[in-house]
Each structure stands twice: as structure tokens, then as C-alpha cells.
């Protein structure tokens, strides 16, 4: 039922055309079945002058002026047969055209819905999800649904309609031979159902294996530089070969099931046709049926058996589509992030953390514990602490990528949880620790955060980020194309372009999540100096491991195991026993050691 609702939902705008496909198939079936009846009528009733027993053919004969008129003008029969074939051809064309339109529009809508939903899912979802698996669902699973709609629905209607109508006609002609003609149908139906259940299970395993393989491939391609740097090519080859082998074995299982079904069903169908031929000859020789009726039985038998046999394939494809729809619904049923509800206050930069606690959904331990400190508008706050102390988590709370579990965070006296996420992120700019650049020009990458920004604004942002001179040295300058994920640039260049992309928005709050670590100390100082000059009144958070980056901050917050252990300025904390003092001593010793060398 859920799968049917899914299909009906995305058929919106093409539902009438879908019903049109069903109507065209029924007309096609009618014309296909009329053709042998007309041929039988011409042999038995027109040429051999046997009495007409079929009410439909009596009506046709009277409409054409009677049997003798047709017998004297056999061209009428020929014209009718040609006309029927032309109608069949027209119905086949309409069926194919509408099938293609319905399936392609359906696939387009599903892909758009999937992409839009993925864009609106919370950050926590994407942290856990495997990119390769998501791509496989948005491509392979959608295509499985598209292929089914492109032909299988009309095939199913065709099989059911032609079997039902043809059998009723055969029973009206001669019931004993009709029973022989349909004796194998229950066997084929039962076998098709069993096949459907097995295929559904086998396809799900194969589909999941393909998703795992795609995820492994995507991860490997994304980490090519790391793989090569550590000579891990052989290891990655073996890992991929294992996943590929699992996918091959599971897919081969599908092929084996298909082969067994086709072989067994072909054997049953051919035996059935042989039985009709043998018994039909016997009944025709004894005069119980005419030659024309025997021709109808032979023609209809193929029309019934092969479509019914194809029901197994249709059911197997339906099983595949059912699995694919379930995988697509897993994403579409995941609640999206609420970006529109909430207040939209004037954001200036006064922030208060008051006894804040936070833990991740899948965690059993608090990442942040009883965190309290305040920030005034225009201040620069440095956050220091060892790896895993909760520094980035603290900034994720400030942009509402996650919500805190207890305590309070206020922004200009407004509770953070009550502020609209879209409004908040528009006013809080963040430069992530691992910058991501898109396969666009440098100019487009910088302007991405503010598509309406003019060229002078882009240049100004690049100058503040100390990357303008570097860009000008490139042959194409700001028109230089950045490779996927920025692979054509150095780490420091990527980081500075990401910084320019963030500050172009002129946000009242800026967060640098250890984003100055990829640049040298001199460039770090240059960027911070430029920011101070042009961003007066902007509240700035610096997550850093460098004392050089933190020492000029108005306030330094030291985190350890998710707790605030020290708050103060560089001067006060340098004299206070604790983690900050130890970091100062270690980094000074490293600098002095470097000088000695």
C-alpha cells in the first residue's frame, strides 16, 4: 500500500495519461483478439459458408451487407484485416510514447524530491549517512522504478486483459479444448508468485551490496591522495574486490533465479501448446470444431501463455521496485530540518552560554558539560582545548546544526532554540576546519555565499583573507577553475578562499573552526589583522591550537573533556597554572628550538 501511494504521489500531473495507457492497452488487446476471429470468419463462414454462431461476427456480417456480399468482394476482408493492423500499430505507438513520458516525468520528480529532501535533512543525518549509498538510491533505485513504469504496468494490464478476454472467447467456441488450453495457467501463476517472493529478497540483498560497493568506491576516490601517500593501493584494491565479489555473487543469484524461471515456464508453456495442437487436430478431424476455430485456438494460446509467463518477470520487477521504493522512503520519511519556524531578531553579537549541556543522539555521554561564559558584541573569543574537548561541538550549537540538551544559549537576550535557523545561519558565518570548494571558478566559489555580491565585494573579501595576490598570480586569475573539492589548490589556498567566501556576507558573528591551521603564522596574523580593521563590531570566535592566534583575543576559553576549565586573557592565563600555561610553554619551546637550529 505504501508503495502504491508513493507511485500515485509522483504520478501527479500524469495520472490521466497513465489511465490513457490502460485504455490504449485494452483497445490494443481488443484489436489483437479480433484479428484471428475475423480470419476464422473469412475461412469458415465466407469461404466455406458454414453457419455463423458468434454473435459478434453476425453483427459484423450484417454491417457489411451479409456473407454473400463479402464472399463476392473478398477485398473487404483484406481491408478490414489491414485496418485492424493499422489500429494495432497506432495503439502500440501511443502506448510506447505515453509509457516513456510517464516514466521519465516520474523519475524526474522523484530525483528532484530526493535531492530537495537531502538538502533539507539535518546535519546530524549526513554525518551518519554514507554518500555512496545515498547516490545509489538517488540513481539506481530511481531508475529501477522508472524502468518498471516504462513498460511493466502496461504489460501487466495486457497480460490480465488478454488472458481474461481470450479465455472467455475460447470457452464460448468449444469448452473441452478451452479447458485443455488453460490447464497450465494455475501452475504458471503459482510458480510466478513463488518466484516473486524469492526475487524480492534476492534483489534487496543485491541492491544493498551495490550500495556498499558504491560507498566504498566514493570514499576511495575522495581519499585518493591519502591512499597514494601511504601506499595503500593494494589494500584498497583488495577491499573493493571483496565488495565487488559480494555484489557479483548476489547478482548472479538473481540471474540464476531468472534462468530457472524462464526455463521451467518455457517448458510448461510449450507442453501446453503441444497439448492444444494435438487435441485440436483430434477435435477438428472429428468435426467438433472447424478449421477456422482451430486456427483461433492456436493463435489465442500463444497470446495467453506468453504474457502470463511474463507475469513472473513483471512480478519480479515489481519486487525490485518495491525494495527500491522502500529505500527511497527511508530517506523521504526522515523529518527535515525546520528552517522557517522561529523568531527573527536583530542579531548583533551579544552571546551568553549558561550551564549548557550537550550529547549526540547516538552517544551516552555528555560532550559539553555545564559550559558557561558570555561574549560582548565586537569581542574576539578564542576557544582552546585538546582534541575531543568539545570545541567544534560548541560552535555547532551556535549555528544550530545541533540543539543543546540542557541549559541556555541566548543571542542578544533571545533564546537560541527559538530563533529561526535560516535567519540564524544568515547572521552567523562559519569557516569549517575542512573547507569544501566546488568545481567552479574561484570567483564563483567566493560569491557562492552571496550570489548578489559584485566584483569589488569579491575582491575585498579575497584581500581580507590574504588570497587576492595568490589568485592574481594564476594565469586566469579569478576565472581559474577549481578542481573537484579544490584538489588543484594547496590546503592554505583552499582555506583562505573558504574564509573569503564566509566573510563576504558581512555577518555580525564569525566563527573560524580551526580554519587558520592550514595557513602559516604570518598569513594567520595578516588575516586576523585585516579582519580587525574591516570588521569592527563583529563578534569573532577562533577555535585554534595556536597561542599566536589566541593571544590577541579579548577572551580565551579553555575546554577540557567538555568542561570550561579556564577563562581569561593571554596575560592572565599565561600566569595561571593550567592547560593554557602548559601549551604556551610547549609552543615557546618549539619556537626556541627552531631558532636554535
In angstroms, the CA 350 to CA 379 distance is: 9
User: Is residue 157 one of the residues assigned to a domain?
Assistant: yes
Residue 377 confidence (pLDDT) above 80: yes
Encode pLDDT of 62-107 as tens digits: 777 777 777 777 777 788 888 988 999 999 999 999 999 999 999 9
- DSSP designation for 336: P
Give the CATH number of the domain where residue 406 resides: 3.40.50.300
First-to-last alpha carbon distance for the chain, in angstroms, is 75
Beta strands in 122-198 (DSSP E): none
555 and 525 share one domain: yes
DSSP 254-270: HHHHHHHHHHHHHHHHH
One-letter-per-residue 3-state SS of 199-240: HHHHHHHHHHHHHHHHHHHHHHHHCHHHHHHCCCHHHHHHHH
Mean pLDDT along residues 258-280 = 82
In angstroms, the CA 584 to CA 547 distance is: 6
User: Is residue 26 one of the residues assigned to a domain?
Assistant: no
- pLDDT bucket at 218, cuts 50 / 70 / 90: confident
What's the domain count of the chain? 2
pLDDT of residue 185: 78
Encode pLDDT of 321-364 as tens digits: 888 899 899 999 999 988 889 999 988 889 999 999 999 887 78
Residue 596 confidence (pLDDT) above 60: no
- Structural domain for 430, as ranges: 351-434+508-596
Residue 368 confidence (pLDDT) above 90: yes
- DSSP designation for 342: S
430 and 553 share one domain: yes
Q: Which of 313, 11, 266, 259 has its CA nearest to residue 146?
A: 11
- pLDDT bucket at 555, cuts 50 / 70 / 90: very high
282 and 144 share one domain: yes
Burial 342-356 (b: 16+ CB within 10 A, else e): beebebbbbbbbeeb
Encode pLDDT of 220-256 as tens digits: 776 776 666 667 778 888 888 888 888 888 888 878 8
Helices (H) and strands (E) in the chain, counts: 24, 10
Domain end residue (candidates: 332, 362, 388): 332
277 and 422 share one domain: no
426 and 516 share one domain: yes
How many residues make up the chain in this entry? Answer: 597
- pLDDT bucket at 597, cuts 50 / 70 / 90: very low
260 and 314 share one domain: yes
User: Is residue 453 one of the residues assigned to a domain?
Assistant: no
Encode pLDDT of 143-202 as tens digits: 988 988 888 888 888 888 888 888 888 888 888 888 888 887 787 777 777 777 777 677
199 and 149 share one domain: yes
321 and 376 share one domain: no
Element (H, E) at 356: strand 351-358
One-letter-per-residue 3-state SS of 502-532: HHCCCCCEEEEECCCCCCCHHHHHHHHHHHH
Encode pLDDT of 462-503 as tens digits: 888 888 888 888 888 888 888 766 666 777 788 888 888 888
Give the CATH number of the domain where residue 211 resides: 1.20.1560.10
Q: Percentages helix, strand, coil for the chain, rounded to the nearest 5?
A: 65, 10, 25
Amino acid at each position: 500500500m505504501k508503495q502504491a501511494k508513493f507511485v500515485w504521489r509522483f504520478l501527479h500531473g500524469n495520472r490521466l495519461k497513465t489511465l490513457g495507457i490502460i485504455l490504449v492497452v485494452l483497445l490494443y488487446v481488443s484489436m489483437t483478439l479480433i484479428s484471428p476471429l475475423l480470419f476464422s470468419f473469412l475461412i469458415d463462414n465466407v469461404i466455406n459458408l458454414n453457419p455463423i454462431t458468434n454473435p459478434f461476427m453476425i453483427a459484423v456480417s450484417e454491417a457489411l451487407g451479409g456473407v454473400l456480399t463479402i464472399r463476392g468482394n473478398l477485398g473487404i476482408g483484406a481491408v478490414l484485416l489491414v485496418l485492424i493492423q493499422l489500429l494495432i500499430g497506432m495503439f502500440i505507438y501511443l502506448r510506447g510514447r505515453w509509457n516513456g513520458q510517464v516514466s521519465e516525468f516520474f523519475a524526474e520528480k522523484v530525483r528532484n524530491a530526493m535531492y530537495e529532501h537531502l538538502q533539507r535533512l539535518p546535519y546530524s543525518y549526513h554525518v551518519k549517512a554514507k554518500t555512496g549509498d545515498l547516490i545509489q538510491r538517488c540513481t539506481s533505485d530511481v531508475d529501477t522504478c522508472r524502468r518498471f513504469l516504462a513498460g511493466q504496468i502496461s504489460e501487466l494490464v495486457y497480460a490480465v486483459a488478454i488472458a481474461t478476454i481470450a479465455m472467455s472467447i475460447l470457452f464460448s467456441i468449444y469448452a473441452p479444448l478451452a479447458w485443455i488450453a488453460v490447464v497450465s495457467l494455475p501452475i504458471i501463476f503459482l510458480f510466478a508468485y513463488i518466484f516473486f517472493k524469492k526475487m524480492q529478497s534476492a534483489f534487496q540483498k543485491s541492491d544493498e551490496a551495490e550500495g556498499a560497493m558504491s560507498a566504498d568506491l566514493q570514499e576511495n576516490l575522495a581519499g585518493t591522495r591519502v591512499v597514494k601517500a601511504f601506499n595503500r593501493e593494494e589494500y584498497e584494491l583488495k577491499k573493493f574486490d571483496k565488495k565487488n565479489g559480494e555484489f557479483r555473487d548476489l547478482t548472479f543469484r538473481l540471474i540464476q533465479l531468472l534462468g530457472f524461471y524462464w526455463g521451467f515456464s518455457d517448458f510448461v508453456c510449450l507442453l501446453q501448446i503441444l497439448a492444444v495442437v494435438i487435441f485440436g487436430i483430434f477435435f477438428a478431424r472429428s468435426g467438433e470444431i472447424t478449421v477456422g476455430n482451430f486456427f483461433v485456438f492456436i493463435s489465442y494460446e500463444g497470446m495467453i501463455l506468453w504474457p502470463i509467463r511474463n507475469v513472473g518477470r513483471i512480478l519480479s520487477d515489481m519486487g525490485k521496485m518495491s525494495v527500491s521504493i522502500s529505500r527511497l522512503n527511508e530517506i523521504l520519511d526522515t523529518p527535515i530540518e525546520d528552517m522557517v519556524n522561529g523568531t527573527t531578531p536583530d542579531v548583533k553579537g551579544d552571546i551568553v552560554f549558561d550551564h549548557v549541556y550537550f550529547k549526540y543522539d547516538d552517544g551516552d555521554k555528555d560532550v559539553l558539560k555545564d559550559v558557561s561564559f558570555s561574549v560582548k558584541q565586537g569581542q574576539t573569543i578564542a576557544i582552546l582545548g585538546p582534541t575531543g574537548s568539545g570545541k567544534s561541538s560548541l560552535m555547532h550549537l551556535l549555528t544550530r546544526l545541533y540543539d543543546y540538551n540542557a541549559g541556555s544559549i541566548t543571542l542578544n537576550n533571545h533564546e537560541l532554540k527559538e530563533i529561526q535557523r535560516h535567519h540564524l545561519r544568515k547572521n552567523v558565518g562559519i569557516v569549517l576546519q575542512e573547507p569544501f570548494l566546488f568545481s567552479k571558478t574561484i570567483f564563483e566559489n567566493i560569491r557562492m555565499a552571496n550570489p548578489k555580491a559584485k566584483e569589488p565585494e569579491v575582491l575585498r573579501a579575497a584581500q581580507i583573507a590574504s588570497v587576492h595576490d595568490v589568485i592574481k598570480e594564476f594565469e586566469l586569475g579569478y576565472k581559474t577553475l577549481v578542481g573537484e573539492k579544490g584538489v588543484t589548490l594547496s590546503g592554505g589556498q583552499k582555506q583562505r578562499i573558504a574564509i573569503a567566501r564566509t566573510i563576504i556576507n558581512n555577518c555580525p558573528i564569525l566563527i573560524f573552526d580551526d580554519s587558520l591551521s592550514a595557513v602559516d603564522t604570518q598569513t594567520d596574523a595578516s588575516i586576523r589583522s585585516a579582519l580587525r580593521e574591516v570588521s569592527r563590531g563583529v563578534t569573532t570566535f577562533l577555535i585554534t591550537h595556536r597561542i599566536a592566534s589566541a593571544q590577541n583575543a579579548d577572551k580565551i576559553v579553555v575546554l577540557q573533556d567538555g568542561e570550561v576549565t579556564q577563562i581569561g586573557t593571554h596575560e592572565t592565563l599565561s600566569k595561571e597554572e593550567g592547560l593554557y600555561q602548559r601549551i604556551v610553554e610547549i609552543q615557546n619551546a618549539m619556537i626556541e628550538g627552531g631558532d636554535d637550529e
